[in-house]
Amino acid sequence: MEPLIPPITDIAVVGGGIVGASIAWHLAARNIAVTVFERGTIASGASGRTGALLRQHYSNRPEATLAHESLKVFRDWPEIVGGAPVHHPTGLVLTLAAGPHADANVARLRRNVAMQNGVGIASEAITPDRLRDLQPFVRVDDLAAAAYEPTSGYADAVAATRGMARAAARAGARIVEGCPVLALTAQGDRVTGVVTPSGPVRAGVVVCAAGPWSTALLGAIGVSLPVAALRVQIAILHRPLAFDAPHFVYLDTAAGMFCRPYGPGCSLVGVSGGDQHDHVPVDPDRYEQRVDAEYPGRAISAIARRIPGMTGAAFLNGRAGLYDMTPDAHPIIGPGPLDGLYLACGFSGAGFKKGPAVGRLMADTIVDNRCDWLDPAPFRLDRFQADGWQRPWSENEYVFETDFGHGF
Ligand SMILES: Cc1cc2nc3c(=O)[nH]c(=O)nc-3n(C[C@H](O)[C@H](O)[C@H](O)COP(=O)(O)OP(=O)(O)OC[C@H]3O[C@@H](n4cnc5c(N)ncnc54)[C@H](O)[C@@H]3O)c2cc1C
């Protein structure tokens, strides 16, 4: 990768996660001089600490579309992006609990699956018995229904993010690691570039894709961004030898956990509640990156509720990362309040799966000032100034007892 920092670039992208890398790739493919500034290494933020579950199940069309368009890229990665495959199409299930909200949630699930099918997503509503036919080792007596996506799964997150950055570089983007953007610069109502430790870099357009760090960067130029850092943990568990069946990816709203296979013999688990439930923001530069002492036990109990064969699982390792939460748990993608400023942040714990399509959307927005495959209006920052921004994005949003921190 070219390490030199140019004094001028058409477009400066702040942040080298999946989103910044994807934006750079799409812009460079249009022959635009784009430079990505990453203060650490590519994928050193949430994109390197994520679960990377590639769920397409959403109750609103805009996010389902981003997830679906992205899955096409993850699925055909070697042909589209280049390099080794990154997608594991294990199959994915979203569960709904039996109990007080079951009937209404099951009706919503059926409508959501119909909407998703209309977007092109392979998904079907299934009964608990059907789930047990598919995965005979799971417990289903606490379930009302599930959505099954046979072609979804999970991605190798670091490989994908680095691969995307490499593809951007091959297309002509400059990727500068170890280079923090110290400040954005503006003149009047226009951004004019960024400041790095090596000096100022002029840019006609600046894209802020710096996750939860975006808030301070933008605040310093008077742009108020409602994005807070939320600490979230995951654990990697060794499976007992007696349970070695390949399991789906689960978004288990009944057991309050998500899980996916993690290499041969291991599973990755995240448990809802805890930090997510309390929604206490942390300082993104000073948060505990190790898991809490009691977290492995919680993770084993949660996955064992769905897969009893995991009861004897052992903790291998774990980590905490950050969700960049917006007040409505939907991302901010689009123009900012200054000319030349664009935002791609606030993914609220669900941005990895959308990364490839967000890059395309951002390139369409910046270069063409329009997008003909998705209405980008719902994602704009200025939605928070409109009356009623708290309203759900669709009438089919679920009501859950558990809180994953992000929306469905
Ligand atoms: C534990 C966990 C589990 C998750 N599970 C899933 C999941 O299953 N599926 C899913 O879709 N999403 C999931 N997510 C969310 C997903 O990982 C994120 O939404 C996504 O990775 C965000 O990508 P990004 O590029 O916007 O941000 P990041 O990957 O955080 O990238 C931002 C980058 O900006 C850099 N940066 C910050 N400030 C500066 C600066 N001043 N100058 C230069 N660089 C700067 C950072 O170093 C960082 O590399 C999970 C997140 C976590 C933490």
pLDDT value, residue 275: 62
- Mean pLDDT of all residues belonging to the chain: 95
pLDDT higher than 60, residue 3: no
Separation between Cα atoms, residue 145 and residue 129, nearest integer Å: 9
pLDDT value, residue 26: 98
Domain boundaries 1-88+154-226+327-408, CATH class: alpha beta
Residue 9's Cβ-count burial label (10 Å; 0-12, 13-18, 19+) is buried
User: pLDDT (tens digit, 9 = 90+) per residue, 62-79?
Assistant: 999 999 999 999 999 999
| Ligand 1, pocket-test mutation among 5, 23, 26, 47, most atoms within 8 A of CB | 47
Instruction: With cut-offs at 50, 70 and 90, classify the pLDDT of residue 402.
Output: confident
Are 406 and 352 in contact, with CB atoms under 8 Å apart? Answer: no
Other beta carbons within 10 angstroms of residue 76's beta carbon come to 12
* 44-52 average pLDDT score: 98
| Ligand 1, pocket-test mutation among 174, 343, 347, most atoms within 8 A of CB | 347
Q: Which fold has domain 89-153+228-325?
A: D-Amino Acid Oxidase; Chain A, domain 2 (3.30.9)
Question: In the chain, pLDDT over 90 holds for what percent of residues?
Answer: 92
Separation between Cα atoms, residue 21 and residue 15, nearest integer Å: 8
User: pLDDT (tens digit, 9 = 90+) per residue, 164-173?
Assistant: 999 999 999 9
Instruction: With cut-offs at 50, 70 and 90, classify the pLDDT of residue 100.
Output: confident
Q: For ligand 1, atom 5, name the residue with the nearest CA.
A: 51
Separation between Cα atoms, residue 47 and residue 37, nearest integer Å: 15
Element (H, E) at 322: strand 314-325
User: pLDDT (tens digit, 9 = 90+) per residue, 326-384?
Assistant: 999 999 999 999 999 999 999 999 999 999 999 999 999 999 999 999 999 999 999 99
**How far is CA 112 from its chain centroid?**
20
> CB neighbours of 318 closer than 8 A, spacing ≥ 6?
233, 234, 235, 236, 290, 291, 295, 296, 299
Q: Please state the domain extents for the chain.
A: 1-88+154-226+327-408, 89-153+228-325
Q: Which residues' Cβ are closer than 6 Å to ligand 1?
A: 14-20, 37-40, 44-47, 49-53, 180-181, 209-211, 213, 217, 232, 234, 270, 321-323, 345, 347, 349-353
pLDDT value, residue 259: 98
pLDDT higher than 60, residue 2: no
Q: Residue 179's closest CA among 6, 343, 352, 323?
A: 6
Separation between Cα atoms, residue 208 and residue 398, nearest integer Å: 31
Distance 50 CA to ligand 1 centre (A): 8
pLDDT value, residue 187: 96
Give start and end residues of each alpha helix (H) in 92-235.
102-119, 128-134, 157-170, 214-219
Distance 188 CA to ligand 1 centre (A): 31
Q: Which residue has the tokens 């300082």?
A: 283
| Ligand 1, pocket-test mutation among 352, 353, 354, 404, most atoms within 8 A of CB | 352
Element (H, E) at 233: strand 228-238
pLDDT higher than 70, residue 139: yes
User: pLDDT (tens digit, 9 = 90+) per residue, 269-313?
Assistant: 999 876 666 668 999 999 999 999 999 999 999 999 999 999 999
* 169-193 average pLDDT score: 98
* 230-237 average pLDDT score: 96
Using CA atoms, how far residue 177 sits from 43, 93, 220, 280, in Å, is 10, 37, 23, 30
pLDDT value, residue 277: 61
pLDDT value, residue 407: 73
Distance 211 CA to ligand 1 centre (A): 6
Are 12 and 201 in contact, with CB atoms under 8 Å apart? Answer: yes
